[in-house]
Each structure stands twice: as C-alpha cells, then as structure tokens.
C-alpha cells in the first residue's frame, strides 16, 4: 500500500500546487486559483494513459453520471497503476495540506477568523483520510478522489450552480481531458450573486446547496482541458457549476480534491417555504436511520 505519510519527496513532481504561489490567488468573487500546465507534461500524459478502467473506478452506466473513488480505495486496489496510487496518496497527505496553507492560508483566516486562530493552528491540525479515519481523533479529513462523469446520451449538466457542503474547507478539480476527447461542454463556470437582487430574492437565493441561474451573473469559465487545476476556499459565496455536456462517448476525467471539518463552517440559509417542501424527505431519512434501514 502507498501511504501518504511516506511521500514528502514527491511534492516537486507530483503536486498540482508545485507552480502556485499565494499571489496567484484571485479573491473575487471567492478565493480561487486557475492554473494551466499544473504538473509536468509527461506525468499528466501518464495519468491520462493509465487512468483506471470504468469498472475499477465503479463508474455507473447512466448518462452523465458522476463517480468518485476515494484515496483509501485507490491505494488498496490491485487494478490501479502505481503512478495513480502515488499521485492520489500525495494529494491526501500532510505535505499537500502544508502546500494548501502556503497558498490559501491567508484567505482561510480571512473567511473563518473564529474557526482558526492563525496559520500555525492550521498547520497543526490533526489530519486523517476520509473513509478511513474519523473526527473522533482527527481535526481534519482529506481526500483525493479519482473522479469523472460517464458518457452523455442526452445533453445535461452534471451539476448546476451550487456551493459545496458547508463542512468542506477547500475543494479542487484537476482536469485530465484525453487527447481524442472532442466533446462539447463540461467546463466550469465561476459565478456570483447578482448585486441587484431584491431583499426577498436574496432570502430565497438557496435551494439546498443550489442557486437559480437567474440569481447569478457569470464571472469566468474554466475550460475542461488537460493539466488544468481549479481550486478554491469553500464558502457561502463560492458559486460554481458545470456547463451542459452535449452527447458524447467520452468520459470527463479529473482528480477531485477536498478537505473537511466535522462542523458547518458557514450557514446556507433556507427560506421557510423550501424548508417546508423538504420536510417529508428529511423526516423519512430520519425515520429510516432510526430503524436501521438504508437511506437513498
């Protein structure tokens, strides 16, 4: 098994942040970076060529369906290439977290001063892996998932404008588009709330984690292209969505990066009408959990 703790020497080659400095962070509409040619071209080429088979990553068969194979499963698999095991393990390591703090530490403290005292406190967080460790003895859980979306039979967006879960501190997408992929769509839109929203619209701006397109305005589009990294500090204004993918036999391939805490970092306000509509489903989930039945 490749263990993340044994990989500090890999940062200069493997890290998607190896070319990134704090000055590269764009603060508006939320702290983010977009980096082209993030890793050496030969490494990127090897990752694309040795990307695991659909069955190995547990890809589904529905149109434009998401899969995410967590780091803990990647390093255990006998069917995943060594380069992928090392690459994934590094991006769930304490060494990678130190790089994240190097780049985003100031923005994390600016957004969450009540949560984290200073950068030294960030660096001293007790780290673990999602799906392997727990918050009982870890402050922060990391993951680096071999991820993607299935081929498309009917034009659709895999995820419209939204914010990520409010216990997630950072997120990143490292794109690995294949050379023969001529598909259209699947880019990442970065958006913000329209400044002219009425008070009523602003109160109703969220539907779960999703936001109606009519409440937002476009800031930039990041093309789905090989060796491109998009990474950001998550917050209530970290609005992003995937553009519509047109029918294609190609898969959309990427590494999904994230780090999370055991409590909400911010509130996602829900208008009472939406809370009322969601109540039957929430009640059903709680009932199923109480009697030990699986929750869909």
- Is residue 274, in this structure, part of any structural domain at all? no
Q: Which CATH number fits the domain that encloses residue 208? A: 2.60.120.620
- Is residue 293, in this structure, part of any structural domain at all? no
Give helix 82-90 / helix 41-49 axis angle, nearest 10°.
Answer: 120
- Is residue 196, in this structure, part of any structural domain at all? yes
Predicted confidence at residue 9, as pLDDT, reads: 52
Predicted confidence at residue 286, as pLDDT, reads: 58
pTM, rounded to two decimals: 0.87
Per the structure, the count of domains in the chain is 1
Question: What length does the chain have?
Answer: 296
Handedness of CA 270, 271, 274, 276 (dihedral sign): positive
Could you list the beta-strand ranges (E) of 71-205: 127-129, 140-149, 168-175, 188-193
Predicted confidence at residue 7, as pLDDT, reads: 46
Predicted confidence at residue 135, as pLDDT, reads: 94
Predicted confidence at residue 270, as pLDDT, reads: 81
- 242 lies in which domain range? 12-269
Closest by CA position to 237, among listed 265, 273, 260, 263? 265
From first to last of its 296 residues, what are the pLDDT tens digits of the chain? 344 444 445 556 889 999 999 999 999 999 999 999 999 999 999 999 999 999 999 999 999 999 999 999 999 999 999 999 999 999 999 999 999 999 999 999 999 999 999 999 999 999 999 999 999 999 999 999 999 999 999 999 999 999 999 999 999 999 999 999 999 999 999 999 999 999 988 888 998 889 999 999 999 999 999 999 999 999 999 999 999 999 999 999 999 999 999 999 999 988 645 444 544 655 565 565 566 665 45
- Is residue 4, in this structure, part of any structural domain at all? no
- Is residue 278, in this structure, part of any structural domain at all? no
pLDDT in tens, 225-270: 999 999 999 999 999 999 999 999 999 999 999 999 999 999 998 8
- Is residue 36, in this structure, part of any structural domain at all? yes
Predicted confidence at residue 269, as pLDDT, reads: 84
For residue 243, give every residue at least 6 positions away whose Cβ sits within 8 Å of its Cβ, in sequence order, or none.
157, 185, 186, 187, 188, 189, 221
If 0-12 CB within 10 Å is exposed, 13-18 middle and 19+ buried, where does residue 41 land? exposed
- Is residue 260, in this structure, part of any structural domain at all? yes
Judged by DSSP in three states, 110 sits in helix
- In the chain, the N- to C-terminal Cα span, in Å, equals 32
Predicted confidence at residue 283, as pLDDT, reads: 57
- Is residue 276, in this structure, part of any structural domain at all? no
């Amino acid at each position: 098994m490749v263990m993340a703790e044994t990989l500090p020497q890999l940062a200069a080659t493997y890290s998607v942040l190896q070319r990134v400095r704090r000055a590269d962070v764009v603060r508006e509409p939320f702290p983010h970076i977009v980096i082209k040619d993030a890793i050496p071209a030969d490494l990127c080429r090897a990752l694309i060529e040795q990307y695991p088979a659909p069955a190995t990553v547990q890809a589904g068969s529905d149109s434009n369906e998401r899969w995410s194979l967590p780091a803990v499963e990647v390093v255990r698999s006998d069917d995943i290439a060594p380069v992928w095991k090392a690459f994934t393990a590094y991006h769930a390591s304490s060494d990678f977290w130190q790089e994240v703090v190097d780049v985003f530490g100031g923005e994390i403290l600016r957004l969450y001063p009540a949560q984290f005292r200073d950068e030294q406190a960030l660096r001293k967080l007790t780290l673990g892996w999602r799906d392997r460790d727990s918050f009982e003895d870890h402050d922060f859980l990391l993951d680096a998932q071999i991820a993607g979306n299935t081929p498309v039979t009917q034009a659709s967006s895999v995820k419209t404008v939204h914010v990520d879960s409010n216990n997630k501190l950072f997120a990143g997408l490292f794109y690995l588009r294949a050379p023969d992929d001529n598909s259209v769509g699947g880019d990442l839109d970065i958006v913000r709330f329209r400044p002219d929203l009425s008070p009523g619209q602003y109160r109703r701006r969220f539907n779960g984690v999703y936001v109606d397109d009519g409440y937002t305005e476009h800031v930039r589009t990041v093309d789905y292209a090989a060796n491109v990294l998009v990474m950001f500090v998550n917050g209530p204004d970290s609005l992003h969505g995937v553009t519509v993918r047109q029918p294609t036999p190609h898969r959309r391939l990427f590494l999904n990066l994230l780090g999370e805490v055991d409590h909400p970092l911010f509130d996602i306000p829900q208008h009472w009408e939406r809370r009322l509509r969601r109540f039957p489903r929430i009640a059903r989930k709680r009932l199923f959990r109480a009697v030990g039945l699986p929750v869909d």
